Amino acid sequence: MNANATVSKKPLLIGKGLPPFESIKPEDVVPAITELLEELEQELNNLEVTVKPTWNDLVEPLQKLVDSLTWSWGIVGHLMGVKNSPELRTAHDTVQPKVVEFLNKLSQSQPLYQAFKSLRNSDSWQNLDSGQKRIIETAIRDAELSGVGLEGEKRERFNAIELELAELSTKFSNNVLDATKAFSLTLTKKEEVEGLPPSLLSLAAQAAREKGATNATPENGPWRITLDYPSFVPFMQHSKRRELREQIYKAFISRADSGDLNNYPLIERILDLRQQKTDILGFNSYAELSLASKMAPTVEAVEKLLEELRSASYDAAVKDLEELKKFAASKNAPEANDIKHWDISFWAERLREEKFSFTAEELRPYFPLPQVLDGLFGLVKRIFGINITPVDGEAPVWHQDVRYFQVSDETNTPIAYFYLDAYSRPAEKRGGAWMDECITRAKIVENGQTTVRLPVAYLQCNQTPPVDGKPSLMTFSEVETLFHEFGHGLQHMLTIVDHAGAAGINNVEWDAVELPSQFMENWCYDRATLFGMAKHYETGEALPEHYYQKLLAARNYMSGSGMLRQLHFALVDIELHHRYQPGGEETVADVRNRIAKTTAVLQPLPEDSFLCSFGHIFAGGYAAGYYSYKWAEVLSADAFAAFEETGLEDESAIATCGKRFRDTVLALGGSLHPMDVFKSFRGREPNTEPLLRHSGLVAAT
């Protein structure tokens, strides 16, 4: 990036290159985005007047316009996730309606829509490559789903709905963040922290210091427990104080269900507006509207797949619970006959320790982040032939802990870059883990010169930061999460598509987008990969073999319960968006409880308001799409099975298979339908058998 750009008066308007994070302030957002929208509005008007139905006169100028908005508004969205503040929120909420309004105008442009249709019917159609054709077909479909065919009152109503949905989604998300932040439990007596692992005691003491208990130490407290995942999950697994587990569990499941942060009315309104939108566009249900742009052909196909998995996992989940009860009884636990929701994690963790005789905590010292990264980078070199090197300092960052890396091909030519923001910062960064695009690959023609713009990814995790002089020591599930997000990153970074609209994850159907990420998780259990990274951070000693055997055995521990939980979410989501009638006899909580009868072994508590924090479907892109995780998991398990079939010990076979995976799944992006991409890698359609086998729910044949 050139130096002049960095010192530009308006860092949010540079429009290309890496974002100058150190000079972007919340007060820049409103003026910059307002100015940008005025310019883009003018450009759109000009384009509508002059547009011709050719690739160069329609798609390229339109992509340029979209790139411009994506660059600036993308930075604001990114900072909302990683550096949230009251000032930024206010700025975001001030301009968001204008952005939505502009996007509606863009997606409902009649002149552009007609030009796309003319282009599809023109003689030049035959000269376009598959990526170009898919971009044009998607543009036509998306315009139709965005109400391009609407006129007069219908169009006004549709746009008002889109605007209100965007606002509700932000409000839903903020309510969950605020409700999570609002609760904390400060413990002062040693007996109250009985059973808690050292890593949680360190984190809890740090949280107490942040809230003013300057003398808090891991040994003597006070200890502050929060509903943030790195605090909540280990507390539920390890706290010996049943009444405290109950208190924390009930706080967690009732987040954002009352007072000023109550999400129930928002849920009703969101579902009602989605139904209205569906009616205007002429679909039978929001689920059908959602599937119009996904890989799954119909709601029936989705429910058939979910039922296939449900019937394979329900009995296994019943057995899991019986086993926990028996185990608790063998330990003379008073709750053995009456196991409650807040006992499950605790007893599941105790049984896991006894069965496989290790704790998630014991493994942490073997997984310091720097080593895990070495292992991950070693793996992608082995299977995809790429080299990853740190280039910290070459890119501006939003927090001093953020790292920057370069990805090069076999000839050491740079092909992509990525940021890694690994640690939890509950005060300003949202929970969970995600990959996002900073820059998308594209061929750029400027002043007659053609260059390829290299992709840059954001990778976000939320693991324990380095505390008390130790590096960030990861649980095995955090290792899997990192591999997962890196899989998304690979699809974004290793694309060979030169049109931004179909490069990387762009134009990939939503239910296929988890394929590379879930595929990468399988490698955490691969012997060579695991031993390549699991070494004790102090002694350098390799992970003892017995731990590896136990990890393998533990992989399918309670997998029936884990599978059933995901199917519960997916079926509730489909039901709410396919059959539920807002304002009818049944409430959303009734729907959830009805579905729980066949998808949960312990029925939800009366005060369980899980839906109020179900951001995936009410504040994220998973509405009528939560099934995508399982749909894509079938694809990813089957893809990994291709490597198993060639033999995981056979380096040259692995490299050959890896090259095929890279050249298809990772390279082709959205330039072909995902079923065609999958078949070009696997030679056939996907099969559920590998997923059930990997989950231990069907015997290996």
pLDDT tens for 184-208 read 999 999 999 999 999 999 999 999 9
Contact 173, 131 (CB under 8 A): no
Contact 297, 161 (CB under 8 A): no
Give per-residue pLDDT as tens, 12-24. 999 999 999 999 9
Instruction: Determine which of 410-414, 418-422, 551-555, 655-659 has the lowest per-residue pLDDT on average.
Output: 551-555
Whole-number pLDDT of residue 447: 87
User: What whole-number distance in Å separates Cα of residue 560 and Cα of residue 695?
Assistant: 8
- Domain end residue (candidates: 124, 149, 174): 149
Closest by Cα among 393, 343, 359, 361 to 243: 343
Q: Are strands 449-453 and 442-446 parallel, antiparallel or unpaired?
A: antiparallel
Q: Is residue 663 part of a domain?
A: no
Dihedral-angle region of residue 371 (phi above 0 means left; psi in -120 to 50 means alpha; beta otherwise)? alpha
- Same-domain pairing of 499 and 387: yes
Task: Flag whether pLDDT at 325 surpasses 80.
Answer: yes
Whole-number pLDDT of residue 504: 96
- Same-domain pairing of 124 and 14: yes
Closest by Cα among 376, 379, 385, 377 to 662: 385
Note if the bond before 426 is cis, omega within 30 degrees: no
Q: Is residue 172 part of a domain?
A: no
- Same-domain pairing of 53 and 80: yes
Closest by Cα among 672, 583, 580, 564 to 624: 580
Whole-number pLDDT of residue 700: 47
Contact 224, 333 (CB under 8 A): no
User: Would you place residue 330 in the very low, low, confident or very high pLDDT band (cuts 50, 70, 90)?
Assistant: very high
- Same-domain pairing of 412 and 501: yes
H-helix segments, 83-151: 86-107, 110-120, 130-145
Q: Is residue 272 part of a domain?
A: yes
User: Would you place residue 4 in the very low, low, confident or very high pLDDT band (cuts 50, 70, 90)?
Assistant: very low
User: What is the arithmetic mean of pLDDT over 294-323?
Assistant: 94
Average pLDDT, the chain: 94
Task: Flag whether pLDDT at 652 surpasses 50.
Answer: yes
**How far lies 220's CA from each of 188, 192, 193, 196, 473, in Å?**
8, 12, 10, 13, 22
- Same-domain pairing of 410 and 501: yes
- Same-domain pairing of 382 and 474: yes
Whole-number pLDDT of residue 6: 41
Burial class (CB in 10 A: 0-12, 13-18, 19+), 3: exposed
Q: Is residue 666 part of a domain?
A: no
Task: Flag whether pLDDT at 112 surpasses 70.
Answer: yes
Contact 598, 651 (CB under 8 A): no
Residue that wins the pLDDT comparison between 52 and 467: 52
Task: Flag whether pLDDT at 295 surpasses 60.
Answer: yes
Whole-number pLDDT of residue 1: 39
- Same-domain pairing of 232 and 275: no
Amino acid identity, position 400 = Q
Q: Is residue 674 part of a domain?
A: no
- Domain end residue (candidates: 255, 285, 309): 255
Task: Flag whether pLDDT at 3 surpasses 60.
Answer: no
Contact 35, 72 (CB under 8 A): no
User: What is the arithmetic mean of pLDDT over 352-359?
Assistant: 85
CATH number at residue 574: 1.10.1370.10
Give per-residue pLDDT as tens, 139-186. 999 999 999 989 999 999 999 999 999 999 999 999 999 999 999 999
Task: Name the residue range of residue 498's domain.
Answer: 364-510
- Domain end residue (candidates: 95, 126, 149): 149
Closest by Cα among 269, 268, 257, 260 to 612: 257
User: What is the arithmetic mean of pLDDT over 666-672?
Assistant: 97
User: Would you place residue 445 in the very low, low, confident or very high pLDDT band (cuts 50, 70, 90)?
Assistant: confident
User: What is the arithmetic mean of pLDDT over 535-556?
Assistant: 92
User: Would you place residue 699 in the very low, low, confident or very high pLDDT band (cuts 50, 70, 90)?
Assistant: low
Closest by Cα among 442, 415, 397, 384 to 406: 415
CATH number at residue 15: 1.10.1370.40
User: What is the arithmetic mean of pLDDT over 232-245?
Assistant: 97
- Same-domain pairing of 216 and 271: no
User: What is the arithmetic mean of pLDDT over 292-313?
Assistant: 93
Q: Is residue 693 part of a domain?
A: no
Whole-number pLDDT of residue 353: 87
Residue carrying structure tokens 């369980």: 608
- Same-domain pairing of 244 and 265: no
Q: Is residue 413 part of a domain?
A: yes
- Same-domain pairing of 250 and 271: no
Burial 458-485 (b: 16+ CB within 10 A, else e): bbbbbbbbebeebebbbbbebbbbbbbb
- Same-domain pairing of 251 and 288: no
CB atoms within 10 A of CB 264: 16
User: How many domains is the chain built from?
Assistant: 4
Residue 365 CB contacts under 8 Å (≥ 6 apart), including other chains: 473, 536, 537, 538
User: What is the arithmetic mean of pLDDT over 675-695?
Assistant: 92
Residue carrying structure tokens 């609407």: 150
Q: Is residue 163 part of a domain?
A: no
User: What is the arithmetic mean of pLDDT over 580-608?
Assistant: 96
- The set of catalytic residues is 485
Closest by Cα among 81, 261, 85 to 179: 261
- Same-domain pairing of 18 and 117: yes
Contact 294, 597 (CB under 8 A): no
Instruction: Determine which of 275-289, 381-395, 550-564 has the lowest per-residue pLDDT on average.
Output: 550-564
> What is the rounded end-to-end Cα distance, in angstroms, of the chain?
55
